[in-house]
Structure 1
Amino acid sequence: SKGNTGGNGVEMPCFSMSQPFVSLLLNGIKTVETRNNPMFSDLEPGTRILLHCGFKDWRDQDAPRRELQKAGFTDEEIKKYSALPKGFSKGGIVGVLTVGKTWKSTAYERDDEDLQRKVVASADDMGVYCTEISNPQWFKRSVKARGSPGIYSATVPKSSLSS
């Protein structure tokens, strides 16, 4: 029953990201998301939010790889943690996670290697607004859906949310 959840749907906030960051978030490697706008600041810390995987990959695939190598991940681990699971495809909602507090970071904070490791980005590639991410959970299968900029409302089958 594509698209029609027949009353078994759950409406939740959702945001869209590109690969490899979708996988890095849902695999628990990336634990801070950064943006140049305070996109997440209206959400109560503890809010569960859906994660949509966009069709377009991040413009520089080498940048996250470099950051992960710096953090001590092997090439094999990087490949594993950066990939969508078997049977998953771009252009769908692939999981759910919890947003924590959002804060406006300083240039000094962005230079901190610990924060860079959590964001999986260099200071130059990082957004100013940082949001903690926890409790990532992959869906059993992706839910085909259109992405949107910012935070938007999306509906997924209830069954997607059960572990």
Structure 2
Amino acid sequence: MTAVRPPSCLLKQVRFCSLVLVRKQNLRESQPYRLRPAEGDTAPLIWTVRGREQQDREGTAGSELCGSILKVRLWFVVLLCACAWTHHVVSCKLAVSMAVQLWCLSFRQPYAGLVLDGVKTVESRWRPLLVPLENRTLAVHVAWRDWEGEEWRAVLGGAWGLSAAGVQELLESGERFGRGVVAGLVDVGGTWQCPASLPEAERAELQRSAVLIGLEQKHLTPLSNPRWLKGPLKTPGGRDLWTVEIPAELLP
């Protein structure tokens, strides 16, 4: 947490109160005796010391006055401290409230970029991992490692009909924020298990949507409304699902 520096006016008040305390403590000791001419004496150099009791009364009055000023200043310092602390607490609450907490899932490349670019619209897992997130938003984390295998390249060049230049353009788009970051958001649909046998046309469409082959017996989850964040959120990845707080200024 960032340290809060006291306002300059608060520091000035603390210094003033310290000086008043010292003045109050030494007032009686440092009060000089005033001299006045003796009654009936015309000699200019003959003086008498005023009574000690008069000096004590003046010192007491001055001390009471300094004490009253000190109390007012101390209350003012307390008020400033309370205001500064209240401002700090409110600022912290606002900072927390301006961040959105979402479930996050790490995708290996090129699938992270393909999801956020709207090419991959079906996620496949051997376990029903995304069932609890149906109709919710998922944060997409870009893993450091690449996907093992080249099936995606065959699907992009075959079912999608992309040229080598088109595939390369997609890969570069998916790397815009680098690796090891939360890069975007996507909405999650309902999960269902792909049967062992499917009509050829339906299987080809699923493979095109998942940018993957061999989907039989896997749990498939449709993904929709992909959007990139305004900037990357650097954070370490996790196993399966974990939560992440995304600042409001990064939300699309």
Alpha-carbon distance, 1:82 to partner: 2.5
Paired residue for 2:166, among 59, 77, 81? 77
- Secondary structure at the counterpart of residue 98 of structure 1: strand
Residue 135 to residue 36, structure 1, CA distance change in 2 (3 Å)? same
Unaligned 5+ segments in structure 1 are none
Contact 1:87 1:141 in 2 (8 A): no
1:93 paired residue number:
182
Report the structure, 1 or 2, having the larger helix content.
Answer: 2
Query: Is 2:149 the counterpart of 1:65?
Result: no
1:137 paired residue number:
227
Letter in 1 for 2:155: E
Note the 1:84-163 alignment, pairs <5 A: 84=173, 87-109=176-198, 112-123=203-214, 128-161=218-251, 163=252
| Higher mean C-alpha displacement, 62-71 vs 77-86 | 77-86
- Secondary structure at the counterpart of residue 155 of structure 2: helix
Letter in 1 for 2:129: M
Structure showing greater radius of gyration is: 2
Q: Matches of 2:217 and 2:164 in 1, distance apart?
A: 26
Unaligned 5+ segments in structure 2 are 1-93
Contact 1:26 1:95 in 2 (8 A): yes
Note the 1:42-61 alignment, pairs <5 A: 42-44=132-134, 46-60=135-149
Say what the alpha-carbon RMSD is for the aligned residues. 2.2
Report the structure, 1 or 2, having the larger strand content.
Answer: 1
Pairs aligned (count): 156
Alpha-carbon distance, 1:108 to partner: 1.8
Contact 2:112 2:174 in 1 (8 A): no
Q: Matches of 1:51 and 1:80 in 2, distance apart?
A: 20
Letter in 2 for 1:154: V
- Secondary structure at the counterpart of residue 55 of structure 1: strand
Residue 138 to residue 151, structure 1, CA distance change in 2 (3 Å)? same
- Secondary structure at the counterpart of residue 225 of structure 2: strand
Structure number with greater CO (CA < 8 Å, separation at least 6) is 1
Residue 12 to residue 120, structure 1, CA distance change in 2 (3 Å)? same
Residue 127 to residue 13, structure 1, CA distance change in 2 (3 Å)? farther
Q: Matches of 1:52 and 1:119 in 2, distance apart?
A: 18
Q: Matches of 1:127 and 1:90 in 2, distance apart?
A: 30
- Secondary structure at the counterpart of residue 109 of structure 2: coil
TM (normalized to structure 1)?
0.87
Tell me the percent identity: 29
Alpha-carbon distance, 1:140 to partner: 2.0
